[in-house]
Structure 1
């Protein structure tokens, strides 16, 4: 299975945090997972809350676990909240239905892993930081939004 390299994962995390600093975001936490949902990098900015590593990981793990971007997870959760609650229990809480979890793909569209970012004032800002980090590594973000 093709997977994201440690070098690319570190680049993603560092650039996502730099993007947050540049835009005045609160401290960010970034989780980069391989396609099997295993951590490659967990980067917690000074001042991040103690739950942030779990939140970032859940954002990334959820997109890998369900095979759809967080935006689609949110849509499905809104349409069928009882089903989403059951899925979240099955996933042992490792899934969230808000933006900030983004697929990482190679130019060839090969899935390399996923990134989860948390800590900004909004999940949309978390997602922007993830996108910036992925692009800085020369890889392709997939959020489910028309622009990515």
Structure 2
């Protein structure tokens, strides 16, 4: 199974609905496939600059390393030099901060990742999880 554009748009709609319901600041949400290719991105009115780059980089790091970005943030604390090296190799597409989750199918296969930017890492992560679940997929 591959991640479809329809699923990516459902994930974004669910994430932004969760953000609005929670009263968070304007967000940017990026969905990428398992190969790191952008499927969809939306930025709410009033979102500040860098939302696209940060949201995509959180998701890209998650797919590349096969874990949610919260795990990457912890690894960065434990091995900062390695994470800086990954960011350099990734040409700026790698950010090790909370706010992205893997997108999996029911069998646990990684389909891609969704990343958000605009709130705290916890807020970004929460809307990503909500978005994945709203599309009937597994956040993981």
Secondary structure of 1:49's match?
coil
Secondary structure of 2:57's counterpart equals helix
**1:56-95 → structure 2 map (5 Å cutoff):** 56-95=55-94
User: Which digits, 9 at most, give the CA deviation of each residue in 1:102-135, with x for residues without a partner?
Assistant: 1000111111110001112x11110000000100
Number of positions where the alignment pairs a residue of Structure 1 with one of Structure 2: 140
Displacement over 6 Å in runs of 4+: none
Match of 1:145 in 2: none
SS in structure 2 of the partner of residue 55 of structure 1: helix
Residue 80 (structure 1) shift: 1.2
- Give distance in 2, aligned partners of 1:11 and 1:88: 29
Q: For 1:14-29, what aligned pairs fall within 5 Å after superposition?
A: 14-29=13-28
Show the counterpart of 2:49: 50
The 2-side partners of 1:71 and 1:6 are apart by: 25
Q: TM-score, normalised by structure 2?
A: 0.96
Q: What is the match of residue 31 of structure 2?
A: 32
Unaligned segments of structure 1, at least 5 residues: 143-148
Unpaired runs of at least 5, structure 2: none
Once residues 133 and 65 of structure 2 are traced to their aligned partners in structure 1, the CA distance between those partners, rounded to angstroms, is 23
**1:68 Cα deviation (Å)?**
2.1
